Amino acid sequence: MELDHARNVAVEAAEAAGAMLRHALGTTTGVHAKGDAGDVVTDLDLAAEKILIDRVLGAFPAHAVLAEESGALGEPGSRWSWLIDPLDGTNNLAIGLPAFVVGMALCDGERPVVGVVHEPVTGHTWSAVRGAGTTGPAGPVAPPYRPAPHGPVLAWTQGYAVARDDPAARALKLAMEVRARRVLQLWAPLLSWVMLARGDIHGIIGYRTEVVDLPAGMLIAQEAGIAVRALAGGPFDDAIGRGDEGRSFVAGHPEMLGELLELAAEADRTRTAVPSST
């Protein structure tokens, strides 16, 4: 499998879907409820996903696909599988906030090996191949370390299954509010990963995150030099087959990692003191 070729296919597919989304901005689109956790899906999600699936399976008919809206497609049991998030930030788009991206990851078994994130509003694309670094609009991406004497700027991401009164989530968010200069809750985690890879923010705290919108962004950030650890400080297992309990982490520049892990440890120490909602 030629991973550079796979990246090129994914970049072209994401940019084609992004062009469609960009041209549709400001037009009326159908918005439909999805599940019981407040998520939504729009007609644009479905249209973008069709573009991505058609491009991927047209180039790699023997591959498997797991798409945000369409579910499992392609060749069951294939060694190679694609995770497709056609519109990460649907809730933002639905209220007219232009903070959304298109994301795709190719996995070899359970390990992400190619990641692509495209931002339709700017037309910018970031991509990575495992072991070969991250490429952005201006070339190779390597975020500088920026000290945060007044507190870091952090992004928070969680899965839709996390309850409002989840004690671990509440403790983590409380610790972030106390320690951080600003906490971003973009509801577009792939965009947060790109911002971290660029050096725009200092870190990400993730709790029981979704499987489809994690691998592409995380690979892009890691290949740019970002470190990712489990909340307890151990190695983070990026296998896509893990349940959401295994998709909790801190991510940041290696020189920021100690501060992020201390934040997570503080949250763990105070978790039982956070009252549950009634």
Transcribe 240-271 into DSSP letters: TTS-GGG--EEEE-TTTHHHHHHHHHHHHHHG
Alpha carbons 20 and 249: distance in angstroms, whole number: 33
Alpha carbons 139 and 161: distance in angstroms, whole number: 37
Query: Can you tell me which residue has the tokens 């503080």?
Result: 266
Classify burial at 271, counting beta carbons within 10 Å of its beta carbon; exposed 0-12, middle 13-18, buried 19 or more: middle
Strands 153-158 and 124-129: unpaired
- Does 88 show up as a binding residue in the annotation? yes
Alpha carbons 22 and 26: distance in angstroms, whole number: 9
- Does 49 show up as a binding residue in the annotation? no
- Does 36 show up as a binding residue in the annotation? no
- Does 85 show up as a binding residue in the annotation? yes
- Does 237 show up as a binding residue in the annotation? no
**Residues contributing to the annotated binding site:** 68, 85, 87-88, 213
**Residues contributing to the annotated binding site for Mg(2+):** 68, 85, 87-88, 213
